[in-house]
Amino acid sequence: MYKKIIEFWVNEREARELQAPPFEFKEGVEEYLKGLTNAGNGNGIQAKLAEAEAARARRMLDAIRALRMGKICAASADGTLNESNLMEDESPGAKIAPAEPVADGVAAPAEAAKRILVRLLRDVPSFVGADLKTYGPYKSEDVVLLPAQNTDALVKRGIATEIQRR
């Protein structure tokens, strides 16, 4: 399952659009993490290895969530969101628990705390940012402070232009 998590992360990172999750991904991940947690109950080397593997898997899952939230926000803003690629907990109105920061050079949800001042080039409907706060709606030429992850996606799509990084 760890290999599937990495493959999904790589595919999500390399693709511009939101990717469809692998078949029964959520159920498989839950079972996998549950098994690692059970194996991690103890004091031996196997328990420590299981704990470390579970921690790495959770960091990868947090990175996937951060990537997907940025793409969902950007696609919602420009009206190109393919809702068939959403997971259960990404549907409108779903409550998502905040993720932990990711180490080892992987894009982290903690980066969403960084804000960037941008000028919007088009009208943008309201959207939920990577920090899970609601932003907008905005009009063309508005200048706003947005999470870095959302700003990067909007700039790449030509919807905004960066003014100042904080």
Q: Which domains occur in the chain, in start order?
A: 2-165 (1.20.58)
How far apart, in Å, are the Cα atoms of 139 and each of 28, 76, 98, 106, 131? 42, 15, 29, 33, 21
Per-residue model confidence as pLDDT tens digits over 44-74: 788 888 888 888 888 888 888 888 888 887 7
Q: Quickly count helices (H) and strands (E) in the chain.
A: 4, 5
CA distance 137 to 105: 33
Q: pTM here?
A: 0.53
Q: Which residue has the higher pLDDT, 103 or 70?
A: 70
Token pair of 126, please? 């309201």
